[in-house]
């Protein structure tokens, strides 16, 4: 398992989900005070970390 890939994937997914949250806000899907804007990037971080961990095992297999 490569720590570097886990961190990179986690940060990339954090940013991806952060931008998705901003898109949802700019297009009026969620309000400015919605918890989605906070939660979505955190989900991205965790999900990215998990996917990065799985990908690192698959990559080295």
Partner 1 sequence: MSLIRSLGIVVLLGAPLGLLTTTSTADAAVTGNCTATASFITGTKARGPFTVDTATIGNDTIKVRRSDTVEWKGGVPAPPGTFSGFVKIDLPPLVPDVTVETWKGDSQTTENSGTKKYDLPGIVPAGVTFQVIGRHADTNGVCSGVVDVEIEGGPFDSPLTAVSLVGTVVTAAGSAGAVRPLFRRVRS
The residues, any chain, with a CB within 8 Å of residue 31's CB and separated by 6 or more, are: 25
Rule CB under 8 A: say whether 45 interacts with partner 1: no
Which residue number, 3 or 51, has a Cβ lying nearer to partner 1?
A: 51
Rule CB under 8 A: say whether 49 interacts with partner 1: no
Rule CB under 8 A: say whether 1 interacts with partner 1: no
What's the rounded Cα separation, in Å, for the pair 9 and 47? 9
Tell me the C-alpha to C-alpha distance, in Å, between residue 54 and each of 5, 11, 30. Answer: 10, 15, 32
Residues that bind partner 1 (CB under 8 A): 5, 8-9, 12-13, 15-17, 19-20, 22-40, 43, 47-48, 51-52, 54-56, 58-59, 61
């Amino acid at each position: 398992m490569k720590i570097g890939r886990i961190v990179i994937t986690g940060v990339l997914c954090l940013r991806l989900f952060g931008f998705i949250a901003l898109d949802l806000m700019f297009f009026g899907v969620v309000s400015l005070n919605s918890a989605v804007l906070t939660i979505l990037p955190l989900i991205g971080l965790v999900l990215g970390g998990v996917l990065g961990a799985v990908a690192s095992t698959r990559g080295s297999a």
